[in-house]
């Protein structure tokens, strides 16, 4: 009986020790796993923490976020086009597309070169961006020739139809839509009569820019109605602008500068000539008035870019396709007057115009 009892006790002890060893082994394995997991967790936390720090400082995208890639190209840099670009970006931001978080921009400037514009267009296609913003006619033409698949939104394009970009303003019919910066050219030229008793108007324009040729043709028709004589000077690059402006001194009573990217990017040289000759400048858009022209009734390029951005949001969200989205115009036009510049050259702005002005400098 005692021997059997001791045997049973020893058996129970062996079983107990076996259980203890098994538990200890399991605990060690769990500790090893926990240690490894903790080590990996620390590593991940450190990496995530690094990304988070990057997010706060540079707006990096969150892991797994659906980041849209957008290529932006403008033909050259000047205030109007720069403001259009910023308006576009702000519209997307207001719709939840935050730079570096839910959207990544590749902003490129062709520096006035059509060849560079084509290279940039090929880059966008190679990078497989989700959408392209083309600012100005020549950049729009470059990307249009490069892709028929990637959605393209355009802005600062005067006549998308004559530029061969869309089938019609009402129904583009392909992967392109956006906004036109067509100005009320007749109303702008009429402002010349409010500034001078003369009727000779000098127009500087890039003879190789489709955007400008369209405006010159419209100006010719408007001049007939307004009894104005137009004297044209075509240029091909910014280095020719000042000389062309100087060649008009003594032959004109005012300058008219359309929304020509080449001339506007060298506007300061025209303003210098106009100031010396005491000649007023009527501009094609508001930013040029801020930079030294006297007056215009026209568009706000920031708002035009914003309007374009709102269209892009619909495309990115899958709510609309470019081919079915009509080309839109500026919803609001404003009267801009540079009173300071007018006084500098001895021009008295009529009171009725000053009373109607939306923006004065």
- Give the model's pLDDT for residue 161: 96
- Structural domain includes residue 105: yes
32 Cβ contact list (under 8 Å, min separation 6): none
Q: Are residues 222 and 134 in the same domain?
A: no
- Structural domain includes residue 129: yes
- Give the model's pLDDT for residue 2: 40
Q: Are residues 149 and 76 in the same domain?
A: yes
Task: Report residue 250 as tokens.
Answer: 């003594």
Residue 287 belongs to domain spanning:
185-298+333-360
Q: Are residues 134 and 276 in the same domain?
A: no
Q: Are residues 177 and 205 in the same domain?
A: no
The CATH number of the domain holding residue 87 is 3.40.50.2300
- Structural domain includes residue 113: yes
> How does pLDDT run along the chain (361 residues), one tens digit per residue?
444 443 443 444 433 434 333 434 444 443 433 333 333 333 333 232 333 222 323 334 444 468 999 999 999 999 999 999 999 999 999 999 999 999 999 999 999 999 999 999 999 999 999 999 999 999 999 999 999 999 999 999 999 999 999 999 999 999 999 999 999 999 999 999 999 999 999 999 999 988 899 999 999 999 999 999 999 999 999 999 999 999 999 999 999 999 999 999 999 999 999 999 999 999 999 999 999 999 999 999 999 999 999 999 999 999 999 999 999 999 789 999 999 999 999 999 999 999 999 999 9
Q: Are residues 308 and 163 in the same domain?
A: yes
- Give the model's pLDDT for residue 98: 95
Q: Are residues 80 and 106 in the same domain?
A: yes
Q: Are residues 215 and 265 in the same domain?
A: yes
- Give the model's pLDDT for residue 66: 87
Q: Are residues 143 and 225 in the same domain?
A: no
- Give the model's pLDDT for residue 65: 61
- Structural domain includes residue 267: yes
- Structural domain includes residue 258: yes
Q: Are residues 356 and 213 in the same domain?
A: yes
- Give the model's pLDDT for residue 210: 87
- Structural domain includes residue 135: yes
Q: Are residues 263 and 313 in the same domain?
A: no
Q: Are residues 96 and 194 in the same domain?
A: no
Q: Are residues 351 and 206 in the same domain?
A: yes
- Structural domain includes residue 138: yes
Q: How many domains does the chain have?
A: 2
- Structural domain includes residue 246: yes
């Amino acid at each position: 009986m005692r021997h059997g009892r001791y045997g049973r006790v020893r058996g129970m002890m062996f079983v107990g020790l076996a259980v203890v060893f098994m538990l200890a082994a399991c605990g060690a394995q769990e500790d090893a796993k926990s240690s490894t997991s903790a080590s990996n967790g620390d590593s991940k936390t450190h990496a995530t923490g690094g990304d988070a720090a990057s997010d706060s400082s540079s707006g990096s995208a969150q892991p797994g976020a659906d980041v849209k890639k957008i290529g932006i190209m403008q033909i050259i840099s000047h205030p109007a086009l720069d403001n259009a670009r910023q308006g576009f970006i702000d519209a997307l931001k207001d719709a939840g597309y935050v730079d570096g978080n839910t959207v990544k921009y590749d902003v490129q400037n062709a520096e006035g070169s059509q060849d560079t514009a084509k290279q940039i267009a090929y880059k966008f296609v190679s990078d497989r961006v989700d959408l392209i913003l083309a600012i100005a006619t020549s950049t729009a033409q470059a990307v249009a020739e490069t892709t028929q698949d990637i959605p393209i939104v355009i802005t600062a394009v005067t006549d998308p139809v004559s530029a061969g970009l869309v089938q019609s303003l009402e129904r583009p019919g392909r992967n392109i839509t956006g906004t036109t910066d067509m100005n009320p050219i007749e109303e702008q030229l009429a402002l010349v009569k409010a500034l001078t008793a003369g009727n000779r108007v000098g127009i500087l324009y890039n003879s190789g820019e489709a955007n400008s040729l369209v405006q010159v043709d419209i100006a010719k028709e408007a001049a007939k109605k307004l009894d104005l004589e137009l004297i044209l000077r075509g240029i091909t690059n910014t280095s020719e602008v000042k000389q062309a402006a100087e060649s008009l001194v003594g032959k004109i009573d005012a300058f008219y500068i359309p929304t020509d990217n080449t001339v506007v990017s060298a506007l300061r040289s025209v303003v210098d000539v106009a100031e010396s000759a005491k000649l007023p400048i009527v501009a094609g858009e508001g930013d040029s008035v801020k930079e030294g022209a006297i007056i215009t009734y026209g568009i706000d390029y920031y708002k035009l870019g914003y309007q374009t951005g709102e269209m892009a949001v619909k495309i990115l969200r899958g709510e609309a396709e470019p081919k079915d989205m009509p080309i839109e115009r500026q919803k609001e036009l404003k009267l801009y007057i540079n009173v300071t510049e007018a006084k500098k050259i001895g021009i008295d702005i009529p009171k009725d115009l000053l009373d109607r002005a939306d923006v004065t400098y």
